[in-house]
Structure 1
């Protein structure tokens, strides 16, 4: 392969580009395709891919192969001259360049301009057409028209836009993605992991992918987004530092200072150089827009980009198209939400550094960003209930990291009200998505800042007391979700005091009900019960049906614990009716979970499964993560006991445990003992090998697939193995024996000191399990078993 200018010839093996290489080679072998452009962001390996394709197809181009390193040309006219010299060299090759060849796929083409006999095919590689594409395009078009034997393979962050141009997008290597406790076998074939580990081994021969370092390697590959140049530069640091030090340094943003080899093109010698080269030639307006978009950690929609742009709408549209054309931005399609403009980590870090270089513009950009999310979350806050809440909750989830960025900006200002308003607007999406610990931090720290501001001023109402009450309420709900019920009670107590000062009876009653529930969960059943009864009565008197339904469901939980199942059922039925009418999906799912627990306590397995399936479906409809784990636990225990599917029960218990680790939710002692007992029983039943396999499968279930795994369980009455599933529980056997003695339902209820309707459920389940149609058959079946 001949070159017009010195070009770096890599000696290392190319990694992870097998499909792209096959695609490029296939196009180059097709003589009807005259211009192929490999387009992609800086550092993704376009030049390397082109060089490898040319190496493999040397025989396909007997007329010669020439490469022009366009970025090495100081000025556009010099680049045009270098291309002219390369084409001339291919038109008039030296005698030793190539002997006449009849290689397959190399059909000769007639050259009308030269007047010579038909010529063999030749390949011209134009490496790095970005920044001069507009100047180079007409030149390349002329050569293609006048030299039918010529094929051009271009690489660049933008394309030439010539008729007939075949554009081949070159993306970063796919990273492994978030994995829970990854195993070497899971990721050793991932292209990004392969590239990082190979380059790491080259600089540190003792490095290998192991069970001890695989988590760090996966984290680095995900963090660096699979960009080959960045991965290779990061791997080079292992020559001097341990892997964990490199990982920590990268998380602190150290990759912006990564330096590389000196025998590569200058634009590839560091990430800073690569970013500066990529942004070369941008107008001031384009740079400013790119810098403002860099503030969006999760990308921005096109509509958002227009709102925060310093340019006019027409100029903004043109700038976005230019940035997309140059691969400085990409438009990512998202399921359930609008497409988003995103950028690589390298460009984001560089753009933010440019932004910080102009203090006035940086302050303006952050104000615009913060105001956008203050308005957005304020408008969404009232939409997290009702028929379209799923849509708005998903939108809030898509904006989560952007909202955190806005909070970081507003936290630096002296005015606490905007910060408090933004924090309180985030309560519902944080609860639903399991962002509990960071959410609690923001609620508590903001409430503390407002308290300190009151202390400095000597006026306890210096800051808005209603906002402070809402902060304490939100903090209480988040603490309760985490399992810190003592902390929840403390925070709700503060909210109650503030609402009392504000004379807001409705909000005070709801806060009091939540405090009562927290106290009950702390073990103070009597006080919790009295607070819930009083709060429910007050809320009903004020016409707050939604609040009274929440209090009723909490009070039902107290009644269940104090062995008053009929009272609990009445409260749950009322709460369920109100919540269905008002579209309170999350509260309704929680109420149905309680109904399932009540049915299970009363040995109504079918009723428990029915209620729990509804609960799981509702949680899944809003992508709930916080309370889903508890519902999965309950369902797993039901499956274990009644459906004869121990492996599925194991997977569900593991999935729930994984969710708790992600969200930080704690399990109460009694429930924890019950879960551990189930795990021990399943391990014994399945054997260690089968159990461990099922457990790992459950750990690796994605949250969006967990409910599907649960709902695929066999329902009562559809068991494949009735021998195992038909075993009576101790209470069912007790009831069956009394039936065999000829007792009526009322007599059995009196003997066992349970409700008569509970006996009816037990008898029904006994008959179903034993396949009996009458009480006489139950008596005979029990007698036979005895």
Structure 2
């Protein structure tokens, strides 16, 4: 039957009328006539049904347990449903006395090759495609199982289900979790678990190698979607290789995924995986260590850990230089320059970027040249050189359009739009920001959608539309939060405070003081162009709050970042009031 809705917003009435919950209630009443669905137990019943994948037999077996267990107790015991669910009734076939018996009966009807593939497919934590099934169909050089025929048999026995084809036209397959649990047991008993896991990991490494190349071209959206589809499998593989201390395998997989993790909002998770992988790397394996350090540095920037990013890019730059990989060395220098820019070391950033540009142009690396021009344009923009920034960013954008790379086109239009805004050319800025937003929406990059929202908010603020600016800053905050960008959250709150400085000065002072404390605690600097606006708005709010200013600043400094976030979001949802007049 249809599963009940999930999430905290699911209403009791919706849960009660879900077919799976209704089935549970009927069978529970048959086992214990006094059982009733109540607001206190319906959520637990729904969770049990979801844990059992909506399987009617499994739900009936679970409901029979209410003779001795309340729904909450049953849910807590559902970590391994196959061990929990059974019945002692004599009016059902023996094969249906327990869930394990039912699955085992279907399993025993399989041909030998089908049984082999069934257990090996349990290494997939999520869905898989035909090429994934073929990867585990032959291990240790044995004769390959015909994966297509074996899958057909598994589907006929309802042990494997199919999902709609992807945009690339590939059919996806999966197992219900209760069935996968049985398959895992069969794999462990077969003695094949180690070679099956190695085949699974090798498949994902090969996929990541292809994706790494695909993410640097016009097909990057398809590759992002493919990696999203495989993400649960990737997590499972990384967990296994790290558990057994296999640094070579971990560094063959994780560094190739940083662009996916960044684009799809998993920067914090990816940063954690990479940090663990790097601790297992062998000193002699310089290529993988260099790639891992570079990837870790990229994601460290996103989570606001600039000291970590600087250290990783220095390691990466040195190792690539020692290996004689000029292109990768220049790329690491450019990344290090961005860290220097964010910590206020403008002169060092300029020197590093000039070195990187000379290298990239010397080896005729179009991508390296385009990315370095972009970084030089960002540097000129932050240094107040609007005309130079626009020229550099426009040149970079032209190159990226020639290379037909959507991600870099989006980043270039975003930064060029920001430069036009600072130069007072709002119409040109809006056009470029709209293009960037459309591209990032297709890519699914929430971090950069947040940055676009900030910049669009600046345009509205400049036009005197503080309410609209505040809502855009709140949109940015909502994008930054799930991707783990603490610095982005802080900056969004600061810009909301700017819009409150004249009309709600006490609230603005609360937010300015709270974000200043959060920056100090995390050693985060403010870009000079932003710092000037914040300082002016802080002064205006202090003047408007008059005698209330010291108390407001003291109270704000004691607020947690979460408190400041709640205060900022509340302000963003409220209409603007007339300009405040404080007592003096």
TM range (shorter): 0.7 to 0.9
1:506 matched to 2:343? The reply is no
Corresponding residue for 1:306? Answer: 134
Deviation readout 1:544-587 (Å, 9 max, x if unpaired): 23223222222322322222211211121111111111122212
Does residue 1:567 correspond to 2:388, yes or no? yes
Question: Residues 312 and 470 of structure 1: is their aligned pair in 2 closer, same or farther, counting only changes over 3 Å?
Answer: closer
Q: Distance in 2 between matches of 1:205 and 1:604?
A: 69
Alignment of 1:176 onto 2:34: no
1:667 aligns with 2:493: no
1:721-744 Cα offsets, whole Å, 9 max, x none, are xxxxxxxxx9xxxxxxxxxxxxxx
Q: How far is 1:633 from its partner?
A: 4.0
2:88 is aligned to 262
Map of 1:766 onto structure 2: none
Alignment of 1:287 onto 2:115: yes
**Corresponding residue SS for 1:382:** helix
Query: Does the CA contact (< 8 Å) of 1:609 and 1:635 recur in 2?
Result: yes
Give the one of 336, 344, 350 matched to 2:182: 350
Query: What residue in structure 2 maps to residue 429 of structure 1?
Result: 260
Q: TM-score under structure 2 normalisation?
A: 0.73
Deviation at 1:506, TM superposition (A): 3.2
CA–CA separation in structure 1 for the residues paired with 2:49 and 2:455: 37
Decide whether the 8 Å contact of 1:386 with 1:582 is kept in 2: yes
What residue number does 1:365 align with? 196
Which of these residues, 247, 251, 276, is aligned with residue 445 of structure 1?
A: 276
Q: 2:367 aligns with which of 513, 526, 546?
A: 546
Matched, 1:378 2:209: yes
Residue matched to 1:609: 430
Once structures 1 and 2 are overlaid, which stretch shifts more, 437-446 or 532-541?
532-541
Is the Cα–Cα contact under 8 Å of residues 486 and 519 in structure 1 kept in the other structure? Answer: no
Offset at 1:612?
1.1
Would you say the 8 A contact 1:370–1:409 is kept in 2? no
What is the SS of the residue equivalent to 1:424?
A: helix
Alignment of 1:481-496 (within 5 A): 481-496=302-317
Unaligned runs of 5+ in 1: 1-171, 455-460, 685-729, 731-786
Once the 2 structures are TM-superposed, how far is the Cα of residue 354 of structure 1 from its aligned partner?
0.9
Compared CA separation, residues 427 and 639, structure 1 to 2 (3 A)? same
Of 315, 340, 344, the residue aligned with 2:172 is: 340
Partner Cα distance (2:473, 2:97) in 1: 49
Q: Could you say if the C-alpha distance between residues 308 and 517 of structure 1 is closer, same or farther in structure 2, counting changes exceeding 3 Å?
A: same
Aligned counterpart, 2:106: 278
Mapped contact 2:52–2:177 kept (Cα < 8 A):
yes
Q: CA deviation at 1:514?
A: 0.9
Q: Deviations over 1:130-166 (max 9, x none)?
A: xxxxxxxxxxxxxxxxxxxxxxxxxxxxxxxxxxxxx
Bigger radius of gyration: 1
- Identify if the C-alpha distance between structure 1 residues 173 and 362 changes in structure 2 by more than 3 Å, giving closer, same or farther: same
Matches of 2:353 and 2:145, distance apart in 1? 58
Looking at structure 1, the residues matched to 215 and 99 of structure 2 have their Cα atoms a distance apart, in angstroms, of 42
Question: In 2 relative to 1, CA 594–367 (structure 1 residues): closer, same or farther, beyond 3 Å?
Answer: same
* Partner-residue secondary structure (3-state), 1:563: coil
**Aligned pair 1:579/2:410, yes or no?**
no
What SS does the aligned partner of 1:662 have?
helix
- How much does 1:348 deviate? 0.6
SS at match of 1:355: helix
Partner of 2:420: 599
User: What is the CA distance between 1:605 and its match in structure 2?
Assistant: 3.0
**In 1: Cα distance, 2:12 partner to 2:424 partner:** 44
Q: Is the contact made by 2:164 and 2:171 (CA closer than 8 Å) also made in structure 1? A: yes
**What is the Cα deviation at residue 448 of structure 1?**
1.3
2:418 is equivalent to residue 590 of structure 1: no
Q: What is the distance in 1 between the residues matched to 2:154 and 2:236? A: 23
**Any conservation in 1 of the 2:477–2:488 contact (CA below 8 Å)?**
no
* Change in CA separation of 1:238 and 1:389 when aligned onto 2, cut-off 3 Å: farther
Post-superposition shift, 1:477?
0.6
Q: CA deviation at 1:512?
A: 1.7
- Check conservation: 2:16, 2:42, Cα contact below 8 A: no
Matches within 5 A, 1:157-176: 172-176=1-5
The alpha-carbon deviation at position 395 of structure 1 amounts to: 1.9
After TM superposition, give the deviation of residue 442 of structure 1 in Å.
Answer: 2.4
Give the Cα–Cα distance (whole angstroms) in 1 for the partners of residues 143 and 85 of structure 2: 38
Question: What 5-or-longer segments of structure 2 have no aligned partner?
Answer: 505-535, 537-584
**Counterpart contact for 1:238–1:246, Cα < 8 Å:** no
Q: Are 2:298 and 1:477 equivalent residues in the alignment? A: yes
Return the alpha-carbon distance in structure 2 between the equivalents of residues 597 and 486 of structure 1.
26
Alignment partner of 1:426: what SS? helix
Q: Structure 2: how far apart are the matches of 1:412 and 1:592?
A: 42
Moved more, 381-390 or 652-661: 652-661
Cα shift at 1:646? 6.1
Q: Choose 627-636 or 361-370, whichever is displaced more.
A: 627-636
Q: What is the deviation of 1:238?
A: 11
What SS class does the counterpart of residue 294 from structure 1 fall into?
A: helix
**1:200 and 1:658 mapped to 2: Cα distance?**
43
Matches within 5 A, 1:28-177: 172-176=1-5
1:517, CA displacement in angstroms? 0.7
Contact kept, 8 Å, 1:549 with 1:575, in 2: the verdict is yes
Q: Say which is worse superposed, 492-501 or 181-190, in terms of deviation.
A: 181-190
| Structure 2 residue matching 1:341: 3-state secondary structure | strand
Q: Which SS does the other structure have where 1:173 is aligned?
A: coil
CA distance 1:427–1:221, shift in 2 (3 Å) = farther
Question: How far off is 1:289 after superposition?
Answer: 0.8
Following superposition, the deviation at residue 444 of structure 1 comes to 1.7
> Within 2, Cα distance between the matches of 1:186 and 1:547?
57
Deviation at 1:366, TM superposition (A): 1.6
CA-CA distance at 1:449 after TM superposition:
0.8
Question: Is 1:324 aligned to residue 155 of structure 2?
Answer: yes
Aligned partner (choices 387, 394, 417) of residue 225 of structure 2: 394
Retained in 2: the 8 A contact 1:374–1:422? Answer: yes
Instruction: Evaluate the alpha carbon distance shift between residue 670 and residue 374 of structure 1 in structure 2; reply closer, same or farther with a 3 A threshold.
Output: closer
Residue 455 of structure 2 is matched in structure 1 by: 634
Distance 2:75 2:498 in 1: 38
RMSD: 3.9
Q: Is contact 1:557–1:594 with CA below 8 Å preserved after alignment?
A: yes
d(CA) in 2 for partners of 1:579 and 1:625?
A: 21
| Partner secondary structure for residue 328 of structure 1 | coil
Cα shift readout 1:369-403 (whole Å, capped 9, x = no counterpart):
22222222223322222222222332222222223
